[in-house]
Structure 1
Amino acid sequence: MSLVDTVLPSDQIQVVEAIDDWQQAVKQAGEPLLQREFITQKYIQSMIDSVQEHGPYMVIADYFALLHARPGEGVNQQSMSLLVVKEPVDMLDKPVKIFLVLAAKDSQSHLESLQSIMTIFMDTKNYQIILEGNKSEIVELFNEGGNKK
């Protein structure tokens, strides 16, 4: 089973040219999960509130934000979605192009899928492919579990 089938289906991956602000990016990134009722509006608002309260701590690498809120609150099904914005979005003085939403039902069950996803992001070549924002290449990357030829 590929990551695309299980953790990050292609219809939960979005690529856009630009977005107005980071709050809009958070909403847009969570939209595929909201439409499937994997998360509620409360979860999206919690992610925004968390950044407003604690600063841009979710920006964990250059241009990369791992968006999340407290596990379980507003999460109906463990899931992830990805938004790549070609023009960097300012998240409290941190430029971000990659918004990965992690919706966890509890503090443990998501760790394995997060680890497999992060393995892809930590590879420099893969990271560059994601940053470039070609959706079919990104889907292919996750489909192959990061082993792009």
Structure 2
Amino acid sequence: MCSLYNYSILKKNKRADIMKSILKDNIHVLERVEDWKDAVRKSGKILLENQSIEERYIEAAIKNIEKLGNYVVITDNVAMPHARPEDGVNQTALSLLLIKDGVDFLGENVNLVFMLASKDNSSHIEVIRKLSQLVDDEEIVEKMSFAKNKEEILNYL
């Protein structure tokens, strides 16, 4: 029989394995960015470089924020810019940009920018669920916000 503690550890390890496999090649750490648009462009560039998205996806994500406001700030210090699948997604993917100095995201300070790209309207559901579990842990978010490099971030997952 699995104790509650062991179940919790197994659940966390499963979350970590999934997040590490999704993010391992898609994490960049920067000291600072010019503004929130630069943050979106730089987080999108990670996915552009591995051909998960097209350039127009990044611009669509920026236009969404300009139109709808900072709805992409999903919790303290965390933003998740995104656009629609038809805006240029080649494969479902997630990137993480850590901005050490933070950036003002239309009135909200953000250090962690997760760019989400979904190829369709359902393939991202599991990614969102795992990301939600991750960012709900305030301690992990804080540690990730002060990480020195990609390896340190991966250790916190």
The structure 1 residue matched to 2:154, chosen from 116, 126, 139, is: 139
Does structure 1 retain, via aligned residues, the 8 Å contact 2:19–2:130?
no
Runs of 4+ that moved beyond 6 A:
none
Structure 1 distance, partners of 2:97, 2:18, is 16
Does structure 2 retain, via aligned residues, the 8 Å contact 1:129–1:137?
no
**Percent of aligned pairs sharing the same letter:** 35
Q: Which has the larger radius of gyration?
A: 2
Residue of structure 2 in register with 1:100 after alignment: 114
Structure 1 distance, partners of 2:128, 2:75, is 15
Does structure 1 retain, via aligned residues, the 8 Å contact 2:91–2:118?
yes
For residues 78-137 of structure 1, the C-alpha deviation after alignment (integer angstroms, 9 at most, x for no partner) is 000000101121122221111101100112111112211221221122111111133322
Structure 1 distance, partners of 2:72, 2:108, is 10
Corresponding position: 1:68 with 2:82: yes
Structure 1 distance, partners of 2:20, 2:45, is 19
The structure 2 residue matched to 1:16, chosen from 26, 30, 33, is: 30
The 3-state SS of whatever aligns with 1:64 is strand
Any gaps of 5 or more consecutive residues in structure 1?
143-149
Partner AA of 2:125 in structure 1: L
Q: CA RMSD in A?
A: 1.5
Does structure 1 retain, via aligned residues, the 8 Å contact 2:20–2:154?
no
Residue of structure 1 in register with 2:59 after alignment: 45
Partner AA of 1:137 in structure 2: E
The structure with the largest helix share of the pair is 2
Structure 2 distance, partners of 1:120, 1:93, is 23
Does structure 2 retain, via aligned residues, the 8 Å contact 1:85–1:133?
no
Residue of structure 2 in register with 1:145 after alignment: none
Any gaps of 5 or more consecutive residues in structure 2?
1-13
Corresponding position: 1:130 with 2:144: yes
* Count of aligned residue pairs for this structure pair: 141
